[in-house]
Amino acid sequence: VSQKNKIGFEVNTLQFFLAYIQQTSGTQLIETWQSLLGLWRDGLQIPSPLVQFHLL
């Protein structure tokens, strides 16, 4: 997998995650917080400015 494809996948994943958070009710977010936190921690370890921007 090329670096360009890898970055594209990572960015798409984070965009999906952002859309999920924006459209999910507060109750559902509370129930899934541990899983979401794990995704966020993993995202912070990706050395890509685009990925880190989406996490903000």
Both tokens of residue 51?
């990925």
Tokens describing residue 25: 């009710």
What's the confidence (pLDDT) of residue 35?
Answer: 86
DSSP 1-50: --HHHHHHHHHHHHHHHHHHHHHS-HHHHHHTHHHHHHHHHHHHTS--HH
- Express each pLDDT in 7-56 by its tens digit: 787 788 888 888 988 998 989 988 888 887 887 788 777 777 666 666 66
55 in helix, strand or coil? Answer: helix
pLDDT at res. 42? 81
Q: Identify the CA nearest to 54 among candidates 3, 5, 20.
A: 20
pLDDT the model gives residue 1: 58
